[in-house]
Amino acid sequence: MQCLIVLGWLNTATSVKNMDLPGLFLHSLSGKRSDIWSVRVSGNWRVTFRFNG
């Protein structure tokens, strides 16, 4: 259920900053994947995404 909520927020986001919500722990990955962002869904589950906006 939480994953669907996060995906909904991603769908309406106009910038990466829109995903910097309390509890999501937004951060960019490192190394060759530094253009990819991650947010926490629950426990060890994450949603990773690349923002093209």
- pLDDT tens for 23-39 read 999 999 999 999 999 99
Give the count of beta carbons closer than 10 Å to the beta carbon of residue 6: 20
The residue type of 42 is S
- Chain CA centroid to CA 24, Å: 7
Predicted local confidence at residue 53, as pLDDT: 62
Predicted local confidence at residue 44, as pLDDT: 93
Q: What does pTM read for this prediction? A: 0.88
Q: Return the CA Rg of the chain.
A: 11
| Class in CATH terms, 2-49 | alpha beta
Residue 38 CB-half CA count within 13 A: 11
Tell me the pLDDT tens digit for each residue of 10-20: 999 999 999 99
Predicted local confidence at residue 51, as pLDDT: 87
* 7 — pLDDT class (breaks 50, 70, 90): very high
d(CA 43, CA 39): 11
